[in-house]
Amino acid sequence: MARKVWAVLQQREGKLHRGSWEAVAAAQRLAQGGEVLAVLLGSEIGEVAREVGGRAKLTAVVCVEDPKLANYTPGGYCSALTPLVGAEAPDFLVFPHTYQSVEYMPRLAHRIGAGVLTEAIAFADEASGLVWTRPILGGKLHARVSVRGSGPMCVSVQAGAFPAETLQLGGAELRWVGAGSVEVEREILGVEEAGGGGVDLAKAERIVAVGRGIGSEDKLGPLRELARLLGAEIGASRPVIDSGWLPRDHQIGSSGQTVAPKLYLAFGISGAIQHLVGMKGSSTIVAVNKDAGAPIFSVAQYGVVADLHEFVPALIEAVKSRQ
């Protein structure tokens, strides 16, 4: 059944959040030949709109431009989107599952009378209708959910579940629409990166992740060196953060960040479910652990059973010799 689907993109200062491409990939699959619109909100978004329209196969890129949308605010985004939804009546609005969309998506859904489903990782058209899959209980279980009733539905998609590599390429016209009356309920005085300019793991293409198995903070040196050589960011399991070996913005997992890099190297991480839920969408996972039975190996494409303190220096030498 062909559906009318919107991918509501996330951008800041003309830079797309990488989850935006994943939202478009999910929307394309969901539409099943129906209309797919990418919706961009902001001020001075011409360049980023052309980037989307030049890459993805879409019915159109809908550009909602207004100086009041220069900074994201939930009230501004909801007030700009509400009349558009009323006029266009999409069946689904697909968002990347980010802190931003989790903040305003339910509020928008309430305004437009839509259902809400967060953190979708898959969907299937079954005899009974459309069935979604989403993690529950911190990722221990996957729930299969079907939605009753009619009207639009707002869905956020988990990072890595609909990889940007599956995007259908093509092109799209840009459609400029007025934002109507934008209700900005907050004055943005400035924007600071979390952790004082710290790490944004959601954008990282490569991550060197460390676990309690490194033993102590003073053993981080070689891992930092490896990350530098690979152009990777450093991530960590929760005990590393709780021990104060790395700042909180490096934590990956159910109470940290969800990441989906191209390469995830895990050193001394056992693979508890609360960690896996935050990284198993990575394209290639390499795990190094001295315990051959560690659960991390169940999600890894490459597993190395070794003492990381011996393996990491050897890996550094191998990388250096190739560079």
Ligand X SMILES: Cc1cc2nc3c(=O)[nH]c(=O)nc-3n(C[C@H](O)[C@H](O)[C@H](O)COP(=O)(O)OP(=O)(O)OC[C@H]3O[C@@H](n4cnc5c(N)ncnc54)[C@H](O)[C@@H]3O)c2cc1C
Site for ligand X contains 294 (CB under 6 A):
yes
User: Of 88-96, 149-157, 176-184, 271-279, which part binds ligand X (CB under 6 A)?
Assistant: 271-279
- Give least dist CB 311 to ligand X, A: 7
Site for ligand X contains 211 (CB under 6 A):
yes
Amino acid identity, position 101: S
Name all contacts of 70-74 with Cβ < 8 Å and 24+ positions apart.
70/42, 70/43, 70/44, 71/188, 71/191, 72/12, 72/100, 73/184, 73/185, 73/186, 73/188, 74/103, 74/104, 74/107, 74/185
Site for ligand X contains 290 (CB under 6 A):
yes
Cβ pair 249, 236 in contact under 8 A: no
Between 39 and 134, name the residue whose CB sits nearer to ligand X: 134
- Give least dist CB 196 to ligand X, A: 21
Per-residue burial over 257-271, b if 16 or more Cβ lie within 10 Å, else e, is: bbbbbebbbbbbbbb
Q: Applying CB under 6 A, which of residues 46, 106, 222, 239 lies at the interface with ligand X?
A: 239
Site for ligand X contains 269 (CB under 6 A):
yes
Please list the residues that pair with 90 across neighbouring strands. Answer: none
Backbone torsion region of residue 199, taken as left when φ is above 0, otherwise alpha when ψ lies between -120 and 50, otherwise beta? beta
Q: Applying CB under 6 A, which of residues 17, 134, 275, 280 lies at the interface with ligand X?
A: 275
- Give least dist CB 211 to ligand X, A: 3
- Give least dist CB 94 to ligand X, A: 25
Site for ligand X contains 258 (CB under 6 A):
no
Q: Applying CB under 6 A, which of residues 251, 264, 286, 300 lies at the interface with ligand X?
A: 251
User: Of 16-24, 28-36, 152-160, 282-290, which part binds ligand X (CB under 6 A)?
Assistant: 282-290
How many residues would you count in the chain? 323
Between 90 and 268, name the residue whose CB sits nearer to ligand X: 268
Cβ pair 265, 207 in contact under 8 A: yes
What gap in Å lies between CA 292 and CA 140, rounded to an integer? 22
- Give least dist CB 116 to ligand X, A: 23
Per-residue burial over 122-134, b if 16 or more Cβ lie within 10 Å, else e, is: bbeeeeeebebbb
Between 74 and 256, name the residue whose CB sits nearer to ligand X: 256
Interaction site with ligand X (CB under 6 A): 211-213, 237-239, 251-256, 268-270, 272, 274-275, 278, 288-291, 294, 307-309
